[in-house]
Amino acid sequence: MRKTVSLFFFLISCMLVAQHSETISLNEGWQFRQASKSPQNEVTSSTATQWYEASVPGSVQRDLIRHGVLPDPYYGTNENKVQWIENENWDFKKTFCVTARQLQYDDAMISFEGLDTHADVFLNGSRILQADNMFTGHKISVKKLLKEGENNLYIRFYSPITTMMPARETFGYDYPAGNDHRAEKLSVYNRKAPYHFGWDWGIRMVQMGIWKPVSLHFYHKAFIEDYYVKQASVNAQKAHIENQIEIVSLSEQSLKATLSIVYSIQGGNSEREDKEITLLKGKNRFNLPLVISAPKLWMPIDWGEQHMYDFTAKIMVDDKVIAEKAVRTGLRTIRHIAREDAQGRSFFFEVNGTPLFAKGANYIPGEILTTQQDSAYYAKMFNHIEEAHMNMVRVWGGGIYENEEFYRQADERGILVWQDFIFGCTPYPSDDAFLANVREEAVYNIKRLRNHASLAYWCGNNEVLEGLHYWGWDKQYPKAVMDAWFQGYDKTFRELLPALVKEYDGTRDYTHGSPDVANWGQPHLFNQGDVHDWGLWYGELPFEAMADRLPRFASEFGFQSFPEMKTIRTFAAPDQWSLESEVMKVHQKASTGNSLIKKYMDMYYHEPKNFEDFVYVGLVMQGNGMEESVEAMRRGRPYCMGALYWQINDSWPVVSWSSIDYYDNWKAQHYRMRDVLAPLALGIAFREDTLDFYTMSDYLQDRNNLQLTVQVIDFNVGKQKELTMKVDAKANASNIVGSRALTELMRESDKANTMIHAFLSDSKGNVISTKDHFFYWPNKLNLPETKIETKIKYADGQYTLTLSSPRLAKDVFVEIPVQGARFSDNFIDLLPGEKRSIVITSPLLKAADRTPVTVKHIRETY
């Protein structure tokens, strides 16, 4: 009888656990409240007693804004009204249910992908985790703590300010963390997004909360902890792959199993490699090599297809799958080339054996409320990147290691990713405990990101060594402190991180920091490595100077502008529309920002009539000036092999260096970047009374039998002369394809009234690229007064605007009061007698509404 009963329960048990794993989300049903009332702040009285519904992923600040406890932090001077949150502790709780069937699994593990930042986690009365790093995920076995029915989770988040204040007190000095917008510099002690503490473009909002998903996993017999498809060597003939797999066995006895790797080109027929293995209790590591003949290579955008392979690792016991894990990746090689040459030391990237000119931008987190970045956000951001013809984006070291969707979008679109570790602009502690924390963070994120084809490069930090050498800290701190910081730099960025990249990645190059040698004040060193050239802007050099100080690779350079007026209206009332108003000061985080914009405007433009014109002229100046800089770099290849401008995006509505504002409105700069970064672009350089015409091509094949048309345009009467010539565009190169002396085209006295309009077309007459060249900036041009005629065709979701003018209308700006509306073109030069159509699209546009469209050009501003 006993045997019969035992057999019955055994069979029931097997039926209960019919699958090898199960996952339930724990994101729903959270509540939060302030842990205790702060006697210093009356606003906190209600939050200390009331439980609020929490969004997970999310943050305390995001939810308090959503519940109306905090005001809109972006409006007016509200920033200071949301900062008391950082000084308090906050509690989160939820209940969840577990069934008897789920308790039959061999193990249960709770996963916290990201807790921000200092937290104690309790489950059913037991503390299961002490977290102190925003960037590290945690997986904890909790089977022994779970019970059938209701289970209770509780998390206490501790203020990153009060938690780390003793570290500051015992150090004896404040670190020179100038972007930390608080008197006490505590950001350096927290392994947390530095930009949360403020930046020279950023609001301060030091968040706490569950910023990544939470889930509960049930496993039977074993699970795959990690799977790395390591590309040992790849070329067009063969790809040598090492399938590195970490398996956790839950069985007390050893298990005879089969490790199978099933792989295929995405959507193609699959192949399989098997290996017999023995699993011992605990962690087991295996490597199953395989060779893929004639692989289809993953290529950067404009070089070919982004071919992706699907790999699945399966563990089978008795012909039944007990664990599996899938990876999608592209096969390619990416190398960073830094070698001595006749001109110094090169700095460029080589993809599948071919040198690549890196075109792109620095990317900062797109939200101060980090968890508002959802999949739709990433799709839009990569639309912006792709439409501007970028092939590389730098994930900057003051933000976060980005979410999975960021890298997935980059993989699928062929955008290379330069990945900083998250350190920026200040020294950091280097004691054993701090470095142990950094080690855990680095290993976690290297393993998380290393399967992405788009990931091209690891960089230790942003501007830390530059600061140590050039920012005057040696005048503020004792020699012993400076010596310790230099030693700490080496321990972290020259020893720890490169060793971890080698061990856990082993296929990508690493540099200790960016820039690797020189800052903008050392132009004699621009012949080696990468450069952050802030001679433009902070150095107050003119835009024209950038062509005479080309670096080997520009990984930062930029120029500020205000966002357009429809964005300014979201945070400032009309009585605040002036450079020195309180609201504008709050929304300008660079100490000399507004004055520098005005100083440059005085160099190049007539004084605008009013604030709205000032904003518009500033947008135009940023766009045209940055185009001039980027074009010079692109013309300068192969000496210069990269232009990553600062910065593509904003984290809140602000005055900044961005080319797209917080509400997804393209500034003039983004349109100009789209033109100058095109796969085949036309460039013009005017030197010694000669115009040189360039083709700047990223295509891997020559483009022959093209026609270059050069028109001389009088501002008032239109075309005066036209020249054509047959040209060839050499593959993956920049070359002069034609030259003309100024005297062949016009008189010297005509330069203030005349422009060059050039365009490149193919054998069928299709225009490939257009370039307008003016001999002076607008304050030295005789721009005519003119009236632009407009016609609008209205349709739901799309307005088509047709423009014409009898005389030149320079930098025509079309504006519509709809955030994020897209324009087929904007900030254009409308030639005399020309008709141009601009298509405006947005789901918010309705034909019946006839939303107003306004048009402005430079001559109207003075």
Provide the β-strand partners of residue 226: 246
25-69 pLDDT per residue, tens? 999 999 999 997 655 554 555 566 799 999 999 999 999 999 999
3-class DSSP assignment, residue 491? helix
Low-confidence winner among 9-18, 43-52, 259-268 (lowest mean pLDDT): 9-18
CA geometry: angle 194, 110, 125, nearest 5 deg: 100
DSSP per position, 677-733: TSSEEEEEEEETTEEEEEEEE--SS-EEEEEEEEEEEETTTEEEEEEEEEEEE-TTE
3-class DSSP assignment, residue 842? coil
- Measured CA to CA, the distance from residue 348 to residue 338 in angstroms comes to 7
Query: φ and ψ at 206, to 5 degrees?
Result: -80, 100
Residues 683 and 693: beta-carbon distance below 8 Å: yes
3-class DSSP assignment, residue 656? strand
Is pLDDT above 50 for 516?
yes
Q: Where are the beta strands (DSSP E) in 784-847?
A: 789-795, 798-804, 809-815, 822-823, 828-830, 835-841
Cis peptide upstream of residue 136 (ω within 30 degrees of 0): no
Q: Which of 184, 118, 206 is nearest to 156 (CA)?
A: 118
The predicted pLDDT at position 38 comes to 59
437-491 pLDDT per residue, tens? 999 999 999 999 999 999 999 999 999 999 999 999 999 999 999 999 999 999 9
Q: Which of 213, 349, 232, 273 is nearest to 637 (CA)?
A: 349
Q: How far is CA 501 from CA 510, 693, 726, in A?
A: 7, 44, 49
> If you compute the radius of gyration of the chain from its CA atoms, what whole number of angstroms results?
30
533-561 pLDDT per residue, tens? 999 999 999 999 999 999 999 999 999 99
The model carries a pTM of 0.95
The predicted pLDDT at position 591 comes to 84
Mean pLDDT of the chain: 95
Cis peptide upstream of residue 207 (ω within 30 degrees of 0): no
701-717 pLDDT per residue, tens? 999 999 999 999 999 99
- Measured CA to CA, the distance from residue 614 to residue 785 in angstroms comes to 19
Tell me what the mean pLDDT of segment 718-728 comes to: 96
DSSP assignment letter at 608: P
The predicted pLDDT at position 49 comes to 78
591-613 pLDDT per residue, tens? 888 999 999 999 999 999 999 99
Q: Which residues are CB-contacts of 133 (< 8 A; sequence separation ≥ 6)?
A: 117, 191, 192, 437, 440, 441
Percent of the chain with pLDDT over 70: 97
pLDDT bin (cut points 50, 70, 90) of residue 3 is: very low
Spell out a b/e string for 130-147, using b for 16 or more CB atoms within 10 Å of the CB, else e: ebbbbbbbbeeebbebbe
**Structure tokens, 351:** 């993809």
The predicted pLDDT at position 13 comes to 40
- Measured CA to CA, the distance from residue 506 to residue 24 in angstroms comes to 34
CA 6 to chain CA centroid, Å, is 59
**How many alpha carbons fall within 13 Å on the CB side of residue 849?**
15
The predicted pLDDT at position 37 comes to 65
**Structure tokens, 478:** 């004792």
pLDDT bin (cut points 50, 70, 90) of residue 7 is: very low
- Measured CA to CA, the distance from residue 63 to residue 55 in angstroms comes to 7
**Structure tokens, 319:** 């012909």
Tell me what the mean pLDDT of segment 199-216 comes to: 98
The predicted pLDDT at position 676 comes to 98
**Which three-class secondary structure string do you get for 303-358?**
CCCECCEEEEEEEEECCEEEEEEEEEECCCCEEEECCEECCEECCEEEECCEEECE
The predicted pLDDT at position 1 comes to 39
Q: Which of 381, 372, 371, 388 is nearest to 410 (CA)?
A: 381
Q: Where are the beta strands (DSSP E) in 64-132?
A: 90-98, 107-112, 115-116, 118-123, 126-132
3-class DSSP assignment, residue 744? helix
Q: Where are the beta strands (DSSP E) in 220-295?
A: 222-234, 238-249, 255-265, 271-279, 282-293
160-177 pLDDT per residue, tens? 999 999 999 999 889 999
Residues 488 and 468: beta-carbon distance below 8 Å: no
679-691 pLDDT per residue, tens? 999 999 999 999 9
**602 CB neighbour count, 10 Å cutoff:** 11
CA 329 to chain CA centroid, Å, is 20
The predicted pLDDT at position 48 comes to 65
Check residues 63 and 521 and name the one with the higher pLDDT. 63
3-class DSSP assignment, residue 829? strand
3-class DSSP assignment, residue 136? coil
646-655 pLDDT per residue, tens? 999 999 999 9
Q: How far is CA 115 from CA 26, 52, 102, 208, 211, in A?
A: 14, 19, 26, 8, 6
Q: Where are the alpha helices (DSSP H) in 351-431?
A: 375-387, 404-413
* Angle between helical axes of 404-413 and 375-387 (0-180°, round to 10): 30
CA geometry: angle 408, 414, 417, nearest 5 deg: 70
Burial of 663 (0-12, 13-18, 19+ CB in 10 A): middle
Is pLDDT above 80 for 585?
yes
CA geometry: angle 507, 508, 513, nearest 5 deg: 150
DSSP assignment letter at 493: I
* Angle between helical axes of 668-676 and 611-635 (0-180°, round to 10): 20
Q: Where are the beta strands (DSSP E) in 460-503?
A: none
Residues 597 and 625: beta-carbon distance below 8 Å: no
